[in-house]
Structure formats: structure tokens, C-alpha cells
């Protein structure tokens, strides 16, 4: 059985993709579902990314609603992929990342791509990269990808933030 946070994401996606409706929030929420936090939901199909949407700061009243909203978005609103079809559901694997509050970083020596995710910000543009991603082993690579996601050039000055995640699979 999947962790309750992951099971909620799975149930939310199945309900929306198969029935076109948003799942009802569980009546009794585990402590970790009652908190407020940013959440990313990632979908993989045969080990390859199939969708990933999230919020780095909470937008919903609790983690349960944050998961529900972001799970549906990962399945149908990730602009990199077509919406998940019902026949794909059995082939998907899921992970849920619950983020700590981002903190400013003055020096890149305070970053570690296996431990911390990063946010770069410049002129209203923001790019985020989760920690501990396959193939992202250096701070420079991590920051470069985050800059690309935000459309921030390598020479542009940025504010940098770091955060940690609790990853559930």
C-alpha cells in the first residue's frame, strides 16, 4: 500500500481522469495532511517523467488539498505532456514532495543538490528545481536548469533560495 499522501494523489488522479470529478477530501486527515506547505506531485511512466506540477508555497488550506490540486494538474495541465489518458493509469508511478519554507541563500556553498532544491528569481521570473534528481549532481548544473526553466540568462543576477523536501513514493 502506498503512503497516505501518495495514495491521495493516486486517488485524485484516477477520479479526475476516469470520472471527470475532483475527489472529496478525506474526513479524517492525518497530521501531515493538516499542515500547510508547498507540494509537488510527479508522475512517471516506465521510469520517464510523465508530469510534474507543484507549488513552492502553499496555495490551499492544507496539504491534502494541495496534493489533490497539484496531482490533477500534473496529470492534465503539465504543458510538456498531453493529458494522462485512462488507459495509462496502470502504467504510472507517483511521488509526492512536501517542501519546507524556502530560505534565502547568500552563497552557493550553502547549496547541495542531493539535499536542497533551489529557486532562482530575477525580475519577476522564477525557476524551481527539486532536490535529488537523477543526473543533477552539481550546484552549477542545478542552478543552470532552474535558470532555464525561468528563462533567466546565465549572466543575469538572481536571488537564490533553498528548500528541503520530504519525498513520499
Question: Which CATH number fits the domain that encloses residue 126?
Answer: 3.30.1490.150
Which of 4, 16, 38 lies closest to 85 in space, CA to CA?
A: 16
Q: How far is CA 121 from CA 29, 105, 130, 161, in A?
A: 34, 12, 15, 8
For residues 93 and 17, state if they share a domain: yes
Neighbours of 127 (CB within 10 A): 20
Please tell me the pTM assigned to this model.
0.92
pLDDT at residue 3 in the model: 94
Give, for all 169 residues of the chain, the pLDDT tens digit.
899 999 999 999 999 999 999 999 888 888 889 999 999 999 999 999 999 999 999 999 999 999 999 999 999 999 999 999 999 999 999 999 999 999 999 999 999 999 999 999 999 999 999 999 999 999 999 999 999 999 999 989 999 999 999 999 9
For residues 43 and 95, state if they share a domain: yes
Query: Is-contact 39 98, C-beta < 8 A?
Result: yes
Q: Does 21 reside within a domain?
A: yes
pLDDT at residue 112 in the model: 97
For residues 77 and 130, state if they share a domain: no
* 3-state SS class at 96: strand
For residues 41 and 19, state if they share a domain: yes
For residues 121 and 92, state if they share a domain: no
pLDDT at residue 31 in the model: 87
Q: What is the CATH number of the domain that holds 58?
A: 3.30.700.20
Number of domains in the chain: 2
* Joined grid coordinates for residue 65: 488539498
Measured between alpha carbons, how far is 80 from 72 in angstroms, rounded to an integer?
15
pLDDT at residue 33 in the model: 94
Chosen domain end from 99, 126, 149? 99
For residues 10 and 79, state if they share a domain: yes
Q: How far is CA 7 from CA 3, 4, 17, 29, 159, in A?
A: 6, 5, 15, 13, 35
For residues 75 and 88, state if they share a domain: yes
pLDDT at residue 19 in the model: 97
For residues 70 and 107, state if they share a domain: no
* 3-state SS class at 162: strand
Which of 3, 164, 25 lies closest to 95 in space, CA to CA?
A: 3
For residues 61 and 132, state if they share a domain: no
Torsion of CA 143, 69, 134, 99, to 10 degrees: 60
For residues 14 and 64, state if they share a domain: yes
Q: Is 124 left (phi over 0), alpha (psi -120 to 50) or beta?
A: left
Q: Does 67 reside within a domain?
A: yes
Residues of the domain holding 141: 103-164
Q: Does 169 reside within a domain?
A: no
Amino acid at each position: 500500500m502506498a503512503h497516505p499522501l501518495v495514495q491521495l494523489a493516486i486517488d485524485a488522479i484516477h477520479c479526475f481522469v476516469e470520472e471527470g470529478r475532483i475527489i472529496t477530501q478525506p474526513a479524517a486527515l492525518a497530521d501531515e495532511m493538516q499542515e500547510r506547505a508547498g507540494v509537488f506531485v510527479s508522475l512517471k511512466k516506465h521510469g520517464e517523467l510523465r508530469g510534474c506540477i507543484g507549488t513552492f508555497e502553499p496555495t490551499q488550506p492544507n496539504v491534502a488539498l494541495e496534493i489533490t490540486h497539484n496531482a490533477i494538474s500534473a496529470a492534465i495541465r503539465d504543458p510538456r505532456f498531453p493529458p494522462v489518458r485512462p488507459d495509462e493509469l496502470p502504467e504510472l508511478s507517483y511521488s509526492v514532495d512536501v517542501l519546507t519554507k524556502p530560505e534565502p541563500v547568500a552563497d552557493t556553498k550553502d547549496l547541495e543538490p542531493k539535499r536542497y532544491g533551489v529557486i532562482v528569481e530575477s525580475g519577476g521570473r522564477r525557476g524551481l528545481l527539486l532536490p535529488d534528481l537523477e543526473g543533477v549532481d552539481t550546484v552549477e548544473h542545478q542552478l543552470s536548469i532552474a535558470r532555464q526553466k525561468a528563462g533567466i540568462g546565465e549572466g543575469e543576477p538572481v536571488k537564490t533560495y533553498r528548500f528541503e523536501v520530504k519525498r513520499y513514493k
